[in-house]
Amino acid sequence: RSRVLLERQEQRESNARTYPRHLPIAIADARGSLVRDVDGNVFIDFLAGAGVLSLGHNHPELVRVAARQLEIFTHGLDLPTPAKDDFVTAQLSMLPAALKDRMKIHFCGPTGANAVEAAIKLCKTATGRDDIVSFAGGFHGSTAAAMAVTGLVEQKAPVGGGMPGVHFFPYSYCARCPLGLSKESSGTRCAHYLENALTDPLGGIPLPAAVIMEMVQGEGGVIPATYEFAQRVRRLTRELGIPLIVDEVQTGCGRTGTWFAFEQYDIEPDVIVASKALSGIGTPVAVILYDKELDRWAPGAHIGTFRGNQLAFATGAAAVEIVRRDRVLENVRERGAQVAALLTPLETLDWVLEVRGRGLMWGIELVHPGTGRPDGELAEAVQAEALRHGVIVETGGRDGCVVRLLPPLNVTEDHVAAACGVLVDAVSAVGE
Ligand code: PMP
């Protein structure tokens, strides 16, 4: 039955084939960390809607909240409602203490890319400047400006997706340091490129309106910034009066073990972009949280129809309560340590360059054992082998060479053990 549905989808659609191409299943239903296909096969879902389903599929409490809200009121543009008020209160309460009184929230439309667009526009308005600095390997979305600041060339193909005034700099991808530096010095050294470009009169770029970065590049292959790199970027941008946008679309809402990933780097962004897991159950919503000092927008300066999704507000407020009550962040840290313990031994294999991650965001980078080059075919083979044994994972990074894990944040110890067991076998098998 999965094959029939896949063929029918293939016949009807000319694109939108990204996931079915690698995950040839049609889904019947799901609960928690488990997904069942239309043929009755059950899978442990270590993709979780690309990180959207932070509390698992169909969390029963969120389902009840959504059903209740459906009966009350569903769409409210940007007019105030009790559900929206609860959502705003919940989101602001999750900010680190130093940012709580400094930040405002703005609703940007349903997707992460919408919020990235808003963040860029806000910084351009506030500074009166036009250029944007971004990092190689970063991903920020598929709309015009979000794509333009995306540093994953494969994601821009075949159109290029560029925009004048966007400048890319190296990200602290120490596993592939072009200078062959150690992990300790590589992150610090690569921040020099940006520093030089911005401070040397011959550096070549005008003072930008913003620097945008992910604390852990997700689509780019699960690459956590080094602490020193993040520190230097923040220090430099602050000294030069450049707003720092931290894109927490994927890393936010607890994914890395703190509510926001930047908290682990002891930095404070000027703008935070959040979406994906904000509502806990996939009801779409995207926001920017930003320093009030940047707020030079006139009323109505940034609008959009779908900024009043009451289902997302109601479930999002409830999701924050559940995260607190059920100590979900603790679970992320504990299960993350479990993943690390089970998977890092794979680094001894010739075809595994690195196993890396934060919290419950992990990547296994596969390389050709002879050349050491990124090997997307191996990663795809791992994905297929894992699926055959009941585990759903995604790939990403250079040439798709990284197997990516994004389980629900409330995943159980047993499911982590089972899924990692399958992955260890799959990774071991593909290189032999
Ligand atoms: N930023 C980051 C860091 C992301 O990972 C993504 C989505 N993968 C986006 C932005 C874009 O979000 P959306 O797909 O909801 O537009």
How large is the average pLDDT for residues 412-428?
Answer: 98
Q: Is 343 in the pocket of ligand 1 (CB under 6 A)?
A: no
Token pair belonging to 170: 């190296």
Reported as a single tens digit per residue, the pLDDT across 311-354 is: 999 999 999 999 999 999 999 999 999 999 999 999 999 999 99
Confidence of residue 14 (pLDDT cuts 50, 70, 90): low
How large is the average pLDDT for residues 222-237?
Answer: 97
Q: Is 141 in the pocket of ligand 1 (CB under 6 A)?
A: yes
Burial of 128 (C-beta count, 10 Å sphere; 0-12/13-18/19+): exposed
Report the separation in Å between the CA atom of 200 and the middle of ligand 1, taken as the mean of its atom positions.
33
Mutation pick for ligand 1 pocket among 275, 278, 285 (CB with most ligand atoms within 8 Å) = 275
Report the separation in Å between the CA atom of 248 and the middle of ligand 1, taken as the mean of its atom positions.
9
Q: Is 47 in the pocket of ligand 1 (CB under 6 A)?
A: no
Reported as a single tens digit per residue, the pLDDT across 265-290 is: 999 999 999 999 999 999 999 999 99
The pLDDT of residue 154 is 83
25-to-2, 380, 426 alpha-carbon distances in Å: 5, 15, 19
Report the separation in Å between the CA atom of 337 and the middle of ligand 1, taken as the mean of its atom positions.
26
Is the model's pLDDT at 205 over the cut of 90? yes
Reported as a single tens digit per residue, the pLDDT across 241-264 is: 999 999 999 999 999 999 999 999
Q: Is 394 in the pocket of ligand 1 (CB under 6 A)?
A: no
Reported as a single tens digit per residue, the pLDDT across 290-304 is: 999 999 888 888 888
At a CB cut-off of 8 Å and minimum separation 6, what does 300 contact? none
Q: What are the contacts of 263-267 at 24+ separation with CB within 8 A? A: 263/96, 264/215, 264/358, 265/215, 265/225, 265/227, 265/230, 265/231, 265/234, 266/227, 266/231, 267/230, 267/231, 267/234
From the list 382, 381, 419, 375, the residue with the least C-alpha distance to 397 is 375
Q: What are the contacts of 372-379 at 24+ separation with CB within 8 A? A: 374/398, 374/399, 374/401, 375/351, 375/399, 375/401, 376/400, 376/401, 378/351, 378/430, 378/431, 379/403
CA distance 151 to 138: 5
Confidence of residue 62 (pLDDT cuts 50, 70, 90): very high
The pLDDT of residue 19 is 72
Ordered structural domains, the chain, with CATH: 2-59+327-430 (3.90.1150.10), 73-325 (3.40.640.10)
How large is the average pLDDT for residues 152-170?
Answer: 88
The pLDDT of residue 17 is 54
CA distance 299 to 104: 14
Token pair belonging to 100: 């709580």
